[in-house]
């Protein structure tokens, strides 16, 4: 599927279902490690992102339908600029809003900073929701599995190497 899939019930269920499954795994990993943001927080962030992305997709679909019904507007360059701007507005706000939310997960005490990984997983969970919301299911699955690989395998290898050198 590309960036302009037909938004229907099957599409919505696929996007939300895949988001729940894959972001749920990331959130579970964070919760299992007793981090400040766990399963529920990650899922809520990602579900908000997938929902808003589907709303954006619906708006784009409605604009395509409007152009089909009113082809005289398709030649207007101002309409094209407005159309492209509309395609990106909601997603841009999701990305910046989640960055703000992630700062709440970062703590500094006695010169020690913690929560950076959790803030990052909140941000990437929103990105995964956006990707699934756009219907890019293969990319969303691949990215999710890559993140789980980093959080479990890579992080454990690094931790064991550091412990071995001490």
pLDDT in tens, 80-134: 666 666 667 788 888 888 888 888 778 878 888 888 899 999 999 999 999 999 9
Residues 6 or more apart whose CB falls under 8 angstroms from that of 70 comprise: none
Q: What angle do CA 64, 65, 67 make, to 5 degrees?
A: 65
Instruction: Quote the strand ranges of 11-150, DSSP E.
Output: 107-109, 112-114
- The mean pLDDT of 8-17, rounded to a whole number, is 96
Q: Which residues make beta-bridge pairs with 112? A: 109
Is residue 72 very low, low, confident or very high in pLDDT (cuts 50, 70, 90)?
confident
pLDDT class of 148 with cuts at 50, 70, 90 = very high
Read off the pTM: 0.82
Question: For 34-39, what is the mean pLDDT?
Answer: 90
Are 25 and 150 spatial neighbours (Cβ–Cβ below 8 Å)? no
Taking CA atoms, 24 is separated from 21, 45, 102, 132, 158, in Å, by 5, 11, 17, 14, 24
DSSP state of 166: -
Helix orientation angle between 9-32 and 137-149, rounded to the nearest 10 degrees = 0
Measuring CA to CA, how many Å separate 35 from each of 26, 29, 76, 122? 12, 9, 51, 12
Lowest mean per-residue pLDDT among 3-7, 20-24, 124-128, 158-162: 158-162
Domain limits, the chain? 9-165
**CA count, 13 A, side-chain hemisphere, 86:** 16
pLDDT of 161 reads 64
Output 29-35 pairs: Cβ under 8 A, ≥24 positions apart: 29/148, 29/151, 29/152, 30/118, 30/121, 30/151, 35/105, 35/115, 35/117, 35/118
Residue listed under structure tokens 């309409």? 79
């Amino acid at each position: 599927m590309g960036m302009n899939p037909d938004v229907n019930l099957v599409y919505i269920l696929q996007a939300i279902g895949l988001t729940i499954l894959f972001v749920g795994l990331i959130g579970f990993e964070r919760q299992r490690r007793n981090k400040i943001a766990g399963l529920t927080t990650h899922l809520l962030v990602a579900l908000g992102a997938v929902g808003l992305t589907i709303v954006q997709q619906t708006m784009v679909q409605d604009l395509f339908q409007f152009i089909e019904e009113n082809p005289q507007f398709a030649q207007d360059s101002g309409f094209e600029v407005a159309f492209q701007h509309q395609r990106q507005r909601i997603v841009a706000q999701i990305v910046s809003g989640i960055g703000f939310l992630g700062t709440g997960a970062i703590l500094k005490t006695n010169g020690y900073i913690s929560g950076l990984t959790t803030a990052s997983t909140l941000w990437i969970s929103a990105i995964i929701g956006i990707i699934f919301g756009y219907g890019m299911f293969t990319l969303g699955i691949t990215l999710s599995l890559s993140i789980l690989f980093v959080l479990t395998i890579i992080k454990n290898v690094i931790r064991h190497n550091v412990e071995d050198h001490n």
